[in-house]
């Protein structure tokens, strides 16, 4: 009988929090424009609640516990467009805390359901103000009530540290240190800062750190344009080698391409990021390009982006239908 191909890491865990991380790195030949360039997706969608933010939520809660900043039963407050809230809701609940999230009122109903499912309380901010509106409202609420603990992922080093001490080390190990480009979306900046710093420390200029940014005024759920006026405090722009803009339409086309050609059911930010990974790969002659799949597609199903004609979807105002 052929020997079984066992994964190198443990597969038995004490609880769901311990399952976070050690996500698969999968080669996607259809995203590669030339044979010498290999494009790999780090499937953060495989985390327990379906997104990269499980790593961050665990890091934020453990950091607060280590600092003695929260006690059992206390309420954690966080502004989030969805994924961090869902992850925090699961992890806070597992570790004995309550969670209140501030979220724009125009996200898909799946997000609301997931948050409620994990026991979070939701406060809505005006959808037309996007994630910046949620941040402003959460800061006001935290100021008014000193019993609330706000991890504030936009300004908390525990966010990039989750990647510096986790995602980046996994990628380095999975590719034996041969990483030529790392591409990710920019939301809080945690993914790009944490991975970028570690990869630069290990590989220097041999690795390029590339941000996929939505065009200003064309929001892609989970991502932000640095030109929209708010630069999260954890962002150090010197870590980035390049920023490449993606249109909403291209984000959708590439999300569909991942599904049709690689059978990868990913969220819309992954389409935007794959588009940029392809462009970077086309400028190289050989090497490895890694891009990050931040979440899976379940939360976006009701928007119709996987089934409706692209023209019908791309022309909709994404601030309203996501
Ligand atoms: C779907 C999705 N993609 C990408 C990102 C960007 O990640 P980061 O906050 O680490 O910049 C986020 C974060 O909010 C997200 O929810």
Find the 205 Cα to ligand 1 centroid distance in Å: 25
| Phi, psi torsion values for 303, nearest 5 degrees | -75, -15
The ligand 1 atom at the shortest distance from the C-alpha of residue 163 is: 10
Give the model's pLDDT for residue 157: 98
Does 72 qualify as catalytic in the annotation? no
pLDDT tens across 147-162, in order?
999 999 999 999 999 9
Cα–Cα distance between 214 and 222 in angstroms, integer? 10
Domain end call among 144, 174, 189: 144
Domain at 38, CATH number: 3.40.50.1100
Query: What are the tokens at 127?
Result: 């959808």
| CA-based nearest residue to 253, from 306, 291, 181, 316 | 306
Are 187 and 124 contained in the same domain? Answer: no
Find the 223 Cα to ligand 1 centroid distance in Å: 6
Find the 6 Cα to ligand 1 centroid distance in Å: 31
Which residues in the chain belong to E strands, given as ranges?
25-27, 37-43, 75-79, 98-104, 121-125, 181-185, 208-214, 242-246, 287-293
| The pairing of beta strand 287-293 with beta strand 37-43 | parallel
Residue nearest to atom 2 of ligand 1 (CA): 222
pLDDT tens across 251-294, in order?
999 999 999 999 999 999 999 999 999 999 999 999 999 999 99
Q: Is residue 157 part of a domain?
A: no
Query: What are the tokens at 271?
Result: 């389409």
Are 226 and 191 contained in the same domain? Answer: yes
Q: Is residue 222 part of a domain?
A: yes
Domain end call among 97, 113, 144: 144
Among the options 42, 45, 51, 53, which is catalytic? Answer: 53
Ligand 1 pocket residue status of 88, Cβ below 6 Å = no
Does 299 qualify as catalytic in the annotation? no
Give the model's pLDDT for residue 278: 98
| CA-based nearest residue to 247, from 193, 182, 315, 196 | 315
Question: Which range (168-177, 205-214, 231-240, 295-304) has the least confidence?
Answer: 295-304
Give the model's pLDDT for residue 58: 98
Are 100 and 244 contained in the same domain? Answer: no
Average pLDDT, the chain: 91
Are 221 and 295 contained in the same domain? Answer: yes
Q: Is residue 242 part of a domain?
A: yes
Q: Is residue 317 part of a domain?
A: no
The ligand 1 atom at the shortest distance from the C-alpha of residue 294 is: 3
pLDDT greater than 70 at residue 301: yes
Find the 222 Cα to ligand 1 centroid distance in Å: 5
Give the model's pLDDT for residue 7: 56
Asked if 135 and 79 count as a contact pair (C-beta separation under 8 A), the reply is yes
pLDDT tens across 187-242, in order?
899 999 999 999 999 999 999 999 999 887 776 766 777 777 778 999 999 999 99
Residue nearest to atom 1 of ligand 1 (CA): 222
Count of domains observed in the chain: 2
This model's pTM is above 0.95: no
| Phi, psi torsion values for 96, nearest 5 degrees | 90, 25
Identify the band that residue 321 occupies on the pLDDT scale cut at 50, 70 and 90: very low
Ligand 1 pocket residue status of 213, Cβ below 6 Å = no
Asked if 76 and 70 count as a contact pair (C-beta separation under 8 A), the reply is yes
Are 260 and 179 contained in the same domain? Answer: yes
Are 197 and 133 contained in the same domain? Answer: no
DSSP secondary structure of 233-246: TT--GGG-SEEEEE
Give the model's pLDDT for residue 285: 96
Ligand 1 pocket residue status of 232, Cβ below 6 Å = no
Which structural domain, as residue segments, surrounds residue 104? 53-144
Are 228 and 304 contained in the same domain? Answer: yes
Query: What are the tokens at 281?
Result: 């790969």
pLDDT greater than 50 at residue 1: no
Q: Is residue 285 part of a domain?
A: yes
Domain end call among 144, 175, 199: 144
Query: What are the tokens at 266?
Result: 């990913």
Are 119 and 194 contained in the same domain? Answer: no
Ligand 1 pocket residue status of 180, Cβ below 6 Å = no
DSSP code of residue 229: S
Are 173 and 38 contained in the same domain? Answer: yes
Ligand 1 pocket residue status of 50, Cβ below 6 Å = no
Are 248 and 227 contained in the same domain? Answer: yes
> 187, 272, 273, 277: which to mutate for ligand 1, most atoms within 8 A of CB?
187
Give the model's pLDDT for residue 166: 98
Are 61 and 195 contained in the same domain? Answer: no
| The pairing of beta strand 121-125 with beta strand 181-185 | unpaired
Q: Is residue 153 part of a domain?
A: no
Q: Is residue 318 part of a domain?
A: no
Q: Is residue 109 part of a domain?
A: yes
Are 290 and 191 contained in the same domain? Answer: yes
Give the model's pLDDT for residue 319: 40
């Amino acid at each position: 009988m052929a020997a079984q191909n066992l994964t190198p890491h443990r597969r038995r865990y004490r609880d769901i929090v311990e399952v976070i991380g050690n996500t698969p790195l999968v080669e996607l030949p259809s995203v590669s424009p030339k044979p010498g360039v290999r494009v790999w997706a780090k499937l953060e969608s495989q985390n327990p609640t379906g997104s990269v933010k499980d790593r961050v939520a665990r890091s934020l809660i453990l950091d607060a516990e280590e600092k003695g900043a929260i006690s059992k039963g206390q309420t954690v407050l966080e502004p989030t467009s969805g994924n961090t809230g869902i992850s925090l809701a699961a992890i806070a609940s597992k570790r004995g805390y309550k969670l209140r999230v501030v979220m724009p009122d125009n996200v898909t109903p799946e997000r609301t359901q997931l948050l409620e499912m994990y026991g979070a309380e939701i406060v809505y901010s005006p959808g037309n103000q996007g994630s910046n509106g949620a941040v402003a409202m959460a800061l006001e609420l935290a100021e008014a009530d000193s019993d609330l603990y706000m991890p504030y992922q936009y300004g908390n080093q525990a966010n990039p540290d989750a990647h510096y001490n986790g995602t980046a080390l996994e990628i380095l190990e999975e590719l034996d240190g041969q990483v030529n480009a790392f591409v990710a979306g920019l939301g809080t900046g945690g993914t790009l800062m944490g991975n970028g710093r570690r990869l630069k420390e290990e590989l220097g200029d041999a690795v390029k750190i590339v941000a996929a940014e939505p065009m200003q005024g064309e929001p892609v759920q989970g991502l932000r344009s640095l030109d929209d006026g708010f630069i999260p405090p954890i962002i150090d722009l010197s870590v980035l080698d390049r920023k490449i803009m993606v249109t909403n339409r291209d984000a959708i086309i590439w999300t569909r391409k991942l599904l049709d050609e690689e059978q990868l059911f990913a969220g819309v930010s992954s389409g935007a990021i794959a588009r940029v990974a392809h462009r970077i790969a086309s400028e190289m002659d050989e090497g490895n390009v890694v891009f990050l799949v931040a979440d899976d597609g379940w939360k976006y199903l009701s928007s119709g982006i996987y089934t409706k004609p692209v023209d019908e979807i791309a022309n909709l105002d994404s601030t309203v239908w996501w």
